[in-house]
């Protein structure tokens, strides 16, 4: 059993214990589980299979030279730009991140990519942010958090100089 799974199982056990102690109704929990499972798992399967093929098709050297350790600081703006232009939710984004990781992208580049996507995700801006909050909030938020992905990447890079902690376990 991997550390990731172990940590999740421990957390789940604690939460179940808490829920039982507080007399929680497990009906809505089951319902939420089935609804999320139904939407995510079939898409996840297809996205991962597609990612497996894409990883075979794209030249690993190209990804490694843009996002790998050898790209140095340049990897960070490239990763931030890549995260910025993914107009989709986590299924596609994490499938792409897995392809990047398999092709030799550095941990710092992956941190930047995921952070950049999570902040700028264009589909979320169009579907939720503009209709609910409007353009003036969007402008304020984007300008305020513009540097966040790059700072995250720089800190990850600095940590990477000291320790290998956080290296992605390549999904293969």
Partner 1 sequence: MPTTAASFDFLKSAEWRRGVLRDAFGPSFWGFLAAAVGFGLVCLAVKGTDVVWDALVGDLGLLLDLMPRVLVALSIAALIWVLMPRDRMSALVGSDTGLRGLVVATIAGTITPGGPSSAYALLAVLAASGAERGALVAYITAWATLGMQRILIWDVPFMGAEFAILRFAISLPLPILAGLIARRLPFDLTIKGVAPTTPYRDSVDE
Site for partner 1 in 64-123 (CB under 8 A): 89-91, 94, 97-98, 101, 107, 110-111, 114-115, 118-119, 121
Of 48-56, 62-70, 74-82, the window that binds partner 1 (rule: CB under 8 A) is 48-56
Q: Which is nearer to partner 1, 70 or 167 (CB)?
A: 167
Please identify which residue in 70, 72, 74, 144 interacts with partner 1, judged by CB under 8 A: 144
Residues 93, 86: contact at Cβ < 8 Å? yes
- Report the interhelical angle of 75-84 vs 148-162 (nearest 10°): 140
Q: Which is nearer to partner 1, 55 or 71 (CB)?
A: 55
User: DSSP label at 83?
Assistant: H
Q: How many CB atoms are located within 10 Å of the residue 168 CB?
A: 15
According to the binding rule CB under 8 A, does residue 56 interact with partner 1?
yes
According to the binding rule CB under 8 A, does residue 161 interact with partner 1?
no
Contacts of 48 (CB under 8 A, 6+ apart): 95, 98
Q: How far is the CB of 83 from partner 1 (least distance, A)?
A: 11
According to the binding rule CB under 8 A, does residue 167 interact with partner 1?
yes
Of 94, 148, 104, 8, nearest to 156 by C-alpha is 148
Separation in Å, CA 148 to CA 40, 41, 123, 130, 171: 28, 31, 19, 21, 27
CA dihedral (106, 109, 111, 117) positive or negative = negative
Please identify which residue in 40, 78, 81, 84 interacts with partner 1, judged by CB under 8 A: 40
Q: How far is the CB of 69 from partner 1 (least distance, A)?
A: 16
Please identify which residue in 21, 57, 69, 106 interacts with partner 1, judged by CB under 8 A: 57
């Amino acid at each position: 059993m991997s550390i990731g799974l172990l940590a999740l199982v421990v957390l789940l056990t604690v939460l179940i214990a808490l829920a039982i102690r507080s007399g929680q109704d497990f009906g809505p929990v089951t319902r939420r589980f089935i609804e999320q499972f139904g939407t995510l798992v079939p898409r996840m399967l297809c996205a991962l299979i597609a990612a497996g093929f894409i990883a075979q098709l794209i030249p690993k050297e190209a990804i490694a030279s843009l996002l790998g350790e050898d790209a140095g600081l340049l990897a960070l703006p490239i990763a931030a730009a890549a995260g910025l232009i993914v107009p989709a939710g986590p299924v596609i984004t994490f499938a792409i991140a897995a392809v990047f990781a398999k092709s030799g992208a550095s941990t710092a580049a992956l941190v930047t990519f995921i952070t950049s996507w999570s902040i700028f995700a264009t589909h979320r801006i169009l579907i939720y942010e503009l209709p609910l909050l409007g353009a003036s909030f969007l402008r304020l938020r984007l300008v305020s958090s513009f540097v966040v992905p790059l700072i995250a990447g720089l800190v990850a890079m600095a940590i990477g100089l000291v320790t290998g902690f956080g290296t992605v376990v390549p999904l293969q």
